[in-house]
Amino acid sequence: MKLRRDILEELVAGSAEPLLVARIDSPDWPVVLNNGAFAAIASDSKSLGKPLADVVEALAGRELALEVSETIRSGQAASIPVELRGKEYLLSLMPLADKASGNADAGQFYAVYWRIAGGHGASLGDQEARQALLKAKRRIRDLSRDDPVTGLLNTAAFKDVLAHDFSVAMREKTTLALVAFSLDHFDDYLHVFGRHAADSCLRRASQAVRRCLRRASDVAALVKGGHGDSLVVLSHASDETKVREFATRIGVAVRELGLHHPRSPTSKYVTVSFKISMLQAGDGGVDAEEFLQRVL
């Protein structure tokens, strides 16, 4: 038994709080329901069918969209303090599933709703304590999923995301793209400047990669492999030309950081090389792990 759409529509429409419902077992997590209260704060009722991350980004900025995406990918419920047009809200995220059905795919839908902070008689001290607790919980989650040097997803977390997205892509018969970046002559850079400077260089290059992501549903990670570490981006792109243009933009962004590399034979600055792999999920019996190893 799945969630009854008619009941869900009635609940969403009747809510006085701005509310969206997104389907997360489809690529880009399209918004499938919203209500009049959301249309009022967004000044736009045309969110249906749009990627959830794009809707949140347009309303409240890229950082919040990234936070929402990370929370949903972790499969957790969470509340995120956010200011919107001069008002304090708690942006609450809740997975929707019929647990009584025993359905293993429990994350088909997510509800995203804005609660006005300070409601229900909560004192200022209660609000501050709640926000501090929420931030601490998010930090604990991030420590288990993020690479400490780059701030991107670590290898284990990235493989979890890839396995989930690969499963969705197989069901939807869609294409995934992986782009792996490696810093050119990085061992020489490490030899000249030492580990501390090399970590700083890797961190700055990683943040350049992150800034170039086209939408919050794209994922970047530091992936450790037998041939060294790679910065890997996962995207639901299907056009190889556009993926190559995207990878080239990242290469330009890293070079424009102007990180001096005295032993590079090709440039006086730190540069990256990249490799692209694209696949319609499930073709040729390839699984998610083999797809990743092809690009590393």
Q: Say whether 150 sits in a helix, a strand or coil.
A: coil
In sequence order, what are the residues at sequence separation of 6 or more whose Cβ sits closer than 8 angstroms to the Cβ of residue 145? Answer: 70, 74, 153, 154, 157
Q: 220 phi and psi, to 5 degrees?
A: -120, 145
Q: What is the pTM of this model?
A: 0.73
Residue 136 has pLDDT above 70, yes or no: no
229 with 222: CB under 8 angstroms? yes
The mean pLDDT of 41-58, rounded to a whole number, is 82
The mean pLDDT of 257-266, rounded to a whole number, is 95
Confidence band of 97 (pLDDT split at 50, 70, 90): low
In sequence order, what are the residues at sequence separation of 6 or more whose Cβ sits closer than 8 angstroms to the Cβ of residue 107? Answer: 24, 25, 72, 75, 95, 97
The mean pLDDT of 89-96, rounded to a whole number, is 86
Of residues 192 and 12, more confidently modeled: 192
Q: Say whether 119 sits in a helix, a strand or coil.
A: coil
Q: Transcribe 107-130 into DSSP letters.
A: TSEEEEEEEETT-TT--HHHHHHH
Q: Which residue in this structure is represented by tokens 């995934």?
A: 176
Computed over every residue of the chain, the mean pLDDT equals 83
The predicted structure's pLDDT at residue 137: 54
Of residues 74 and 239, more confidently modeled: 239
Strand pairing partners for 113? 19, 92
Distance CA 98, CA 119 (A): 29
Distance CA 94, CA 92 (A): 7
Cα Rg, the chain, nearest whole Å: 21
Question: Which of 8-12, 201-205, 227-231, 289-293 has the weakest average pLDDT?
Answer: 8-12
Spacing of C-alpha 198 from chain mean position? 26
The mean pLDDT of 24-35, rounded to a whole number, is 85
Strand pairing partners for 175? 280
Phi-psi region of 29 (alpha: psi -120 to 50; beta: other; left: phi over 0): left
Domain architecture of the chain: domains with CATH:
5-144 (3.30.450.20), 155-295 (3.30.70.270)
In this structure, the strands spanning 31-34 and 19-23 are antiparallel
Question: Which of 62-71, 166-175, 200-209, 265-274 has the weakest average pLDDT?
Answer: 62-71
